[in-house]
Amino acid sequence: MKPGTVNNELQRYTDGKNVEVKDGKLIIEARHENDEYTSGRINTRGKHTFTYGIVKMRAKLPAGVGTWPALWMLGADIQEVGWPACGELDIMEHVGKKPGFIHSSIHNPSGYGATPYTGIVEIKDPYTQFHIYSMEWTKDFITFYVDGKKIYHYQPKEKNIKNWPFDKPFYLIFNIAIGGNMGGSKVDNSCFPTDMVVDWVKVYQK
């Protein structure tokens, strides 16, 4: 994916060169080399999709102004209906220009981009310590947590196609973006290479 293709981001996602599994942990590394930013993005599209359940991830995040790591989900029908009609669930987003602040958000046709459906919490040391980012998704509501603490709850009184495209299969995405609409225009090149280390991801369903 070329830089600037999505959200004005600066990185180029490589074909596996910035992703590895080491000592049982998933490592996604962002780099600045040869006057370009490279990073990794992986997803479970076509491999594992699901509807409803509890998703948990234990991870350490990359540090540095300009970094934008995320664990998120998209509706598996994105190719047919487009975004935001497919729905988006942001379990964890962090931007280096605001150290320690974790964002969990929902995007749908009734609110997307700078969505009003967002919770924010400040945590200590997300860079060298593992934290658990999770989401409970049912047919009635969606709730996000960090280390077991609830940070945002979404439950429309009356569900419709604009506010609840969340009754169908979604897939997981892990990535580190650089810059962009949320990451910001300033990037501290001295922070590279920097990585997101995922200890585990668990999905529970009844």
pLDDT tens, position by position, 129-165: 999 999 999 999 999 999 999 999 999 999 999 999 9
115 and 105 in contact (C-beta within 8 Å)?
yes
Catalytic residue among 9, 33, 88, 122: 88
For the cut 90, the answer to whether the pLDDT of residue 3 exceeds it is no
Tell how many helices (H) and how many strands (E) occur in the chain.
2, 16
pTM: 0.95
Catalytic residue among 93, 122, 136, 158: 93
Largest Cα separation within the chain, whole Å, is 52
36 noted as active-site residue = no
9 and 187 in contact (C-beta within 8 Å)?
no
Band the pLDDT of 6: cuts 50, 70, 90: confident
The domains located in the chain, with CATH, are: 11-204 (2.60.120.200)
∠ Cα 197 177 154 (to 5°): 85
pLDDT score, position 206: 83
Band the pLDDT of 67: cuts 50, 70, 90: very high
93 noted as active-site residue = yes
